[in-house]
DNA sequence: CTTAGGG
DNA sequence: CCCTAAG
């Protein structure tokens, strides 16, 4: 996937090739193409073209080798900057494959890409020898450096190259050595030998050529040698060179007297559409990669022979192939950079985080939100189970929410059990121990043990009146049951409230009086008489720990008022609460009982009450007066 | 702590 | 419900 500027003319010049001399070359034609990993050529993108054109404009007179070098640098650098990770990887893979696997390259490439970079490490295998000897000298980049050094002593580099004048010697040496080690006719450096163009003479089917032969053909075509062993690549290159076109086939090409004859009409030039997904992706990110004029560089190998900077770049290019340490990092960085444009992160991250937060909130977490959530859940659900949930879930926030209910408390207690928290505790209340028992009881009740409930019933049974009362209203029972459930949690809350009361920080969770409670209260009053709140509480409200004697008293007071207000003046029918369905009006029966009790008991109280009530409601006062006053 | 009462 | 005051 690199964009190359094919300059046959340049090639020729550099190579001192016959072509130039023969004048058989067409006018210099630059074709910008991207060489895909598999060696296929793809038309450049607009950007690529533009950039290249710009470059060309700037350097109209490229031809000199030096310039070429510069050009290479230029391109190389640019490539580096613009290069995309995937591409690099592919690139390196290419090299590897090019050397080791030939025909399979295409297939392997795809696979290899997916692999981490183990393979890539192998790439420099030959050079690696040296590399190993000089571990971590300069990190990843140095691979190449070492290789250079090594190349002189250890003839193992794979690549060869060419137009890097500065490195030429080394390169040559390297190539030579490589070639020597390899089987076929060794090809000396560009400078040393003359290409055998005979190979291109007559009719030759590139497909039938061996790698060596292809290399020769390459040399004949471009005037320089190549160590690339990828048949496909070689064929493409050769074909390209001969046809001065990037539109070549990968196979089925026959060279006939220096001209390419494609027999395989089927071949389709890979287009972007046909490019593997990964490649396309990479392509989109890569501005361009160019090889200097005269693509003399064998794609795969060029990176090994460059100045340090170049090498550096090349390393990056190859990324994977060199050192894991830096390469990897670099690679990642580049990837990041490459994708940053797209990934952009901030927003992305934020979104993610938000999502996570939401999720977490929903699932686990933040107390504050949790609480609210818990409330909702509680409302939706009913009974003990929910209680439990809330317990486990809710935690830190000690919110005093009316709607929230018991949720908070349970959880709190739960938390303590699990792990006591200083802060939390301090916030909640002074002595957890006290709470715990209650909580546990509540929990138990909620869980279905109903220990309290039983107690409660027992208590009720104690009072004959109570039983009667329950029997009176069938609905009462129901109410009672409801109470129990709802109560438990609240009970806990209450505890908290108490504790808090001391501080004045928190308020006892508001707990509406249930019908059953009222009944019990009334019964209790009837039984023990008004003012015996503590007793009533002990006996009748044993199970309702959250109801204090004060509560009872208050409630009774309210009941009295209610009874007076509602019962006496029925005519008015002004039942303030009546409008609100949620509030269950106290059954007249109860009110009656209350009234009776009030009348029966202490007159003194009545008196005072009468006086006060008069201020509030004339009717109440009247009722009061009538009954209370002698 | 319990009651009583005011808020 | 809370708070306070008086027993």
Domain final position from A340, A369, A391: A340
User: What pLDDT sits at residue A603?
Assistant: 53
Tens digits of per-residue pLDDT, A409-467? 333 333 333 333 333 333 333 333 333 333 333 333 333 333 333 333 333 333 333 33
In a domain? residue A318 = yes
In a domain? residue A537 = no
**Residues A324 and A351 reside in one and the same domain:** no
Range of the domain at A620: 548-630
**Residues A112 and A247 reside in one and the same domain:** yes
Concatenating the DSSP letter of every residue in A322-333 gives S-IIIIIHHHHH
CA of A534 to C1' of B1 (A): 9
Q: What is the mean pLDDT of residues A581-609?
A: 65
Distances in Å between the Cα of A156 and the Cα atoms of A118, A129, A296, A449 are: 20, 8, 20, 82
Strand B nucleotides, any atom under 7 Å from protein beta carbons: they are 1-7
In a domain? residue A33 = yes
Closest nucleotide to A531, Cα to C1': B3
**Residues A599 and A569 reside in one and the same domain:** yes
Tens digits of per-residue pLDDT, A277-317? 333 333 333 333 333 333 333 333 333 333 333 333 333 33
Cα separation, A453 vs A459, whole angstroms: 10
**Residues A352 and A332 reside in one and the same domain:** no
Residues in chain A: 630
User: What pLDDT sits at residue A509?
Assistant: 82
Query: Is any atom of nucleic acid chain B found less than 7 Å from the CB of residue A501?
Result: no
State yes or no: pLDDT of A330 exceeds 70.
Answer: no
Strand order in the sheet with A2-7: A41-42, A30-35, A2-7, A290-291
User: What pLDDT sits at residue A501?
Assistant: 38
A464's tokens: 């004959």
In a domain? residue A371 = yes
Number of domains in chain A: 3
Q: Give the pLDDT band (50/70/90) at residue A234.
A: low
Tens digits of per-residue pLDDT, A249-271? 544 444 444 544 444 333 333 33
CA of A513 to C1' of C2 (A): 17
Among A615, A569, A609, A616, residue whose Cα is nearest residue A588: A569
Concatenating the DSSP letter of every residue in A540-573 gives HSTT-TT--HHHHHHHHHHHHHHIIIIITTTTT-
State yes or no: pLDDT of A518 exceeds 80.
Answer: yes
CA of A216 to C1' of C5 (A): 114
**Residues A15 and A69 reside in one and the same domain:** yes
Which residues, 6 or more positions from A610, have their beta carbon under 8 angstroms from its beta carbon? A621, A624, A625, A628, A629
Q: What is the mean pLDDT of residues A553-560?
A: 87
* A163 close to A294: Cβ distance less than 8 angstroms: yes
**Residues A329 and A412 reside in one and the same domain:** no
Tens digits of per-residue pLDDT, A70-125? 333 333 333 333 333 333 333 333 333 333 333 333 333 333 333 333 333 333 33
**Residues A317 and A401 reside in one and the same domain:** no
- Mean of all residue pLDDT scores within chain A: 45
Query: Is any atom of nucleic acid chain B found less than 7 Å from the CB of residue A507?
Result: no
Choice between A155 and A518, residue whose per-residue pLDDT is larger:
A518
Residues near strand C (C-beta below 7 A) are: A 494, 497, 501, 504, 506-513, 546, 550-551, 554
Paired residues of A205 in beta bridges: A254
Which residues, 6 or more positions from A382, have their beta carbon under 8 angstroms from its beta carbon? A485
Strand C nucleotides, any atom under 7 Å from protein beta carbons: they are 1-4
Cα separation, A356 vs A325, whole angstroms: 32
A195's tokens: 């290409």
Q: What is the mean pLDDT of residues A388-397?
A: 35
State yes or no: pLDDT of A570 exceeds 70.
Answer: no
In a domain? residue A531 = no
State yes or no: pLDDT of A549 exceeds 50.
Answer: yes
**Residues A226 and A362 reside in one and the same domain:** no
User: What pLDDT sits at residue A543?
Assistant: 83
Cα separation, A223 vs A13, whole angstroms: 9
Domain final position from A340, A357, A373: A340
Among A304, A227, A246, A289, residue whose Cα is nearest residue A39: A246
Tens digits of per-residue pLDDT, A13-25? 333 333 333 333 4
* A540 close to A517: Cβ distance less than 8 angstroms: no
For the four alpha carbons of A621, A623, A625 and A628, in that order, the dihedral sign comes to negative
**Residues A245 and A288 reside in one and the same domain:** yes
Q: A535-572: string of b/e by CB count within 10 Å (b at 16+)? A: ebbebbbbbbbbbbbebbbebbeebbbbbbbbebbeee
**Residues A360 and A486 reside in one and the same domain:** yes
A557's tokens: 């007071």
**Residues A480 and A624 reside in one and the same domain:** no
Strand order in the sheet with A259-262: A203-205, A253-256, A259-262
* A598 close to A561: Cβ distance less than 8 angstroms: no
């Amino acid at each position: 996937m690199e964009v190359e500027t094919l300059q046959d003319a340049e090639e020729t010049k550099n190579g001192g090739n016959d072509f130039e001399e023969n004048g058989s070359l067409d006018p210099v034609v630059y074709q910008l193409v991207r060489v895909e990993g598999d060696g296929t050529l793809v038309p450049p993108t607009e950007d690529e073209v533009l950039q290249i054109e710009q470059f060309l404009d700037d350097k109209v007179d490229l031809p000199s080798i030096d310039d070429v070098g510069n050009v290479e640098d230029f391109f190389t650098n640019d490539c580096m900057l613009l290069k995309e990770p995937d591409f690099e990887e592919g690139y390196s893979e290419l090299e590897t494959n090019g050397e080791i696997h030939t025909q399979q390259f295409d297939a392997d490439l795809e696979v290899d890409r997916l692999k981490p970079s183990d393979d890539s490490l192998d790439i420099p295998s030959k050079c690696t020898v040296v590399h190993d000897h000089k571990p971590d000298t300069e990190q990843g980049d140095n691979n190449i450096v070492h290789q250079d050094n090594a190349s002189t002593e250890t003839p193992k580099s794979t690549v060869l190259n060419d137009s890097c004048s500065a490195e030429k010697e080394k390169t040559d040496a390297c190539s030579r050595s490589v070639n020597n080690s390899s089987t076929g006719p060794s090809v000396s450096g560009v400078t040393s030998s003359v290409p055998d163009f005979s190979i291109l003479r007559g009719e030759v089917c590139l497909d039938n050529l061996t790698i060596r032969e292809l290399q020769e053909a390459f040399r004949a075509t471009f005037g320089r040698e190549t160590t690339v062993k990828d048949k496909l690549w070689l064929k493409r290159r050769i074909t390209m060179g001969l046809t001065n076109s990037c539109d070549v086939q990968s196979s089925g090409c026959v060279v006939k007297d220096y001209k390419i004859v494609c027999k395989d009409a089927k071949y389709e030039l890979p287009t972007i559409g046909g490019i593997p997904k990964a490649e396309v992706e990479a392509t989109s990110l890569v501005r361009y990669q160019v090889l200097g004029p005269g693509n003399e560089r064998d794609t795969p190998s060029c990176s090994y022979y460059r100045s340090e900077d170049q090498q550096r770049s090349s390393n990056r290019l190859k990324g994977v192939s060199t050192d894991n340490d830096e390469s990897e990092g670099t690679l990642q960085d580049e990837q990041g950079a490459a994708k940053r444009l797209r990934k952009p992160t901030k927003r992305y991250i934020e979104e993610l985080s938000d999502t996570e937060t939401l999720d977490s909130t929903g699932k686990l977490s933040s107390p504050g939100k949790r609480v609210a959530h818990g409330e909702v859940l509680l409302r939706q659900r009913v009974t003990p189970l929910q209680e439990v949930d809330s317990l486990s879930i809710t935690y830190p926030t000690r919110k005093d929410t009316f709607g929230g209910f018991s949720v908070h408390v349970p959880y709190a207690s739960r938390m303590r059990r699990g792990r006591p928290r200083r802060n939390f505790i301090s916030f909640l209340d002074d002595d957890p121990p006290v709470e715990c028992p209650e909580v546990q009881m509540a929990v138990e009740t909620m869980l279905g043990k109903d220990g309290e409930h039983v107690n409660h019933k027992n208590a009720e049974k104690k009072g004959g009146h109570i039983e009667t009362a329950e029997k009176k209203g069938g609905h009462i029972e129901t109410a009672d049951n409801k109470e129990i459930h709802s109560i438990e949690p609240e009970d806990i809350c209450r505890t908290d409230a108490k504790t808090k009361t001391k501080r004045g920080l928190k308020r006892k969770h508001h707990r509406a009086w249930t019908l059953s409670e009222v009944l019990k209260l009334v019964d209790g009053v009837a039984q023990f008489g008004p003012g015996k709140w503590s007793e009533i509480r002990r006996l009748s409200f044993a199970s309702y720990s959250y109801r204090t004697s004060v509560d009872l008293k208050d409630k009774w007071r309210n009941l009295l008022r209610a009874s007076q207000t509602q019962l006496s003046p029925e005519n008015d029918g002004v039942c303030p609460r009546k409008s609100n369905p949620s509030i269950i009006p106290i059954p007249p029966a109860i009110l009656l009982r209350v009234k009776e009790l009030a009348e029966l008991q202490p007159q003194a109280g009545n008196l005072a009450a009468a006086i006060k009530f008069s201020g509030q409601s004339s009717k109440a006062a009247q009722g009061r007066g009538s009954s209370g006053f002698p």
